[in-house]
Amino acid sequence: MENRISPFLISVLCIGIAILYIPILVLIGYSFNASALVSVWGGFSTHWYTELIHNDQILDAAWLSLKIGVAVSTGSVILGTLAAISLVRFKVFRGRLLLTGMVNAPLVMPEIITGITQLLLFVSMLNLLGWPHRGFTTIVIAHIAFCSAYVTITVQSRLASADRLLEEAAMDLGSGPVRAFIDTTLPGLAPALASSWLLSFTLSLDDLVISSFVSGPGASTLPMVIFSKVKLGVSPDVNALASLMICLVGVCVLIAGHLMRRAERRRVLDAQMAER
């Protein structure tokens, strides 16, 4: 399968990767620019990072976004995993097609439509039931709806390829179906669950459009603050903030990737040992 990749393929691959990375690298470079003028290089400085620590608006927004992110990713992993189990394990049930549709649609649905419809729901609910007030709660609810879809897709493919022999053996030995699933299949799912938790977290942390619609007065998430600053033009403290966020996410993803690879290797090794 390998060998002989044409120079054409290599060059397109390099161009594609360059397109993806150059802007990010340049941004990180600019964040260490001492000059407030973005076009002039005024020497190396961490001035904009210290500026960031004293910016209450950004710190508050970051704290709110982190709280939302943790709540959303935990909720999404639970709901998304249940949906994945439903779709993989129960081949026939009433509403299966509906669930499949509702799991796949958020992946392609333009955020602006999801945002508007969810806001209208929340406004009508508040009118009829007196709950929920727009802010933290509504953002979490709205984010879970689309993040759980990503969780389902990730867990679904892992679950579909999981070996059911062990689980059946556990049931033969007297475990109930839930117990058997928790003891045998769930540990194998752990890397997929961890990575989908992280994915939900970054998706939530990143969302601007849906948050802008469903948020209320006083609840500005980090992307909302960044967007309002960026709309006015390039600002050097956003450069610093962006670099921090990008590095944080990058490190998280690399760690997650490493953990998943190690888990995979161990699984393969175990399987080889078992065959002997």
Partner 1 sequence: MISAADAGAGAPRRAAAMDWFARRGKWLIILPPMLYLLVFFLIPFGFALSISFADTAVRVPPFTDILSVSPDWHIHLTLNLGNFKYLFTDEVYGLSYLYSLKTAFFSTVVCLLLGYPMAYGIARTSKSTQSILLLIIILPFWTSFLLRVYALEGIIRETGLLNTALLWLGVIDHPLQIMRTTFAVYLGIIYSYLPFMVLPLFATLEKLDHSLLEAAGDLGSPPWRAFLEVTLPLSMPGIIAGSMLVFIPAIGEFVIPTLLGGPDNLMIGRVLWDEFFGNRDWPVASAVAIAFLVLLVGPIALYQHYSTKQLEA
Contact characters 108-137, partner 1, x per CB under 8 A: xxxxxxx-xxx-xx-xx--x----------
Give the position of tokens 């990058």: 250
Alpha helix segments (H runs only) across 54-185:
56-89, 96-108, 111-129, 136-160, 165-172, 177-180
Q: Could you give the CA distance from residue 114 to residue 112 in angstroms, rounded to a whole number?
A: 6
Residues 6 or more apart in contact with residue 45 via CB below 8 angstroms? 32, 33, 34
Residues numbered 81-110 forming contacts with partner 1, rule: CB under 8 A: 82-83, 85-86, 89-90, 93, 95, 98-110
Is position 189 an interface residue for partner 1 (rule: CB under 8 A)?
no
Closer residue to partner 1, CB minimum distance, 217 or 276: 217
Closer residue to partner 1, CB minimum distance, 37 or 59: 37
Residues numbered 193-252 forming contacts with partner 1, rule: CB under 8 A: 198-199, 202, 205-206, 208-209, 213, 223, 226-227, 230-231, 234, 238-239, 242, 245-246, 249-250, 252
Amino acid at 120: L
Amino acid at 100: T
Residues numbered 20-49 forming contacts with partner 1, rule: CB under 8 A: 20-24, 26-27, 30, 38-39
Smallest gap from Cβ 243 to partner 1, in A, equals: 9
Q: Could you give the CA distance from residue 165 to residue 162 in angstroms, rounded to a whole number?
A: 9
Q: Could you give the CA distance from residue 121 to residue 125 in angstroms, rounded to a whole number?
A: 6
Closer residue to partner 1, CB minimum distance, 120 or 169: 120
Is position 272 an interface residue for partner 1 (rule: CB under 8 A)?
no
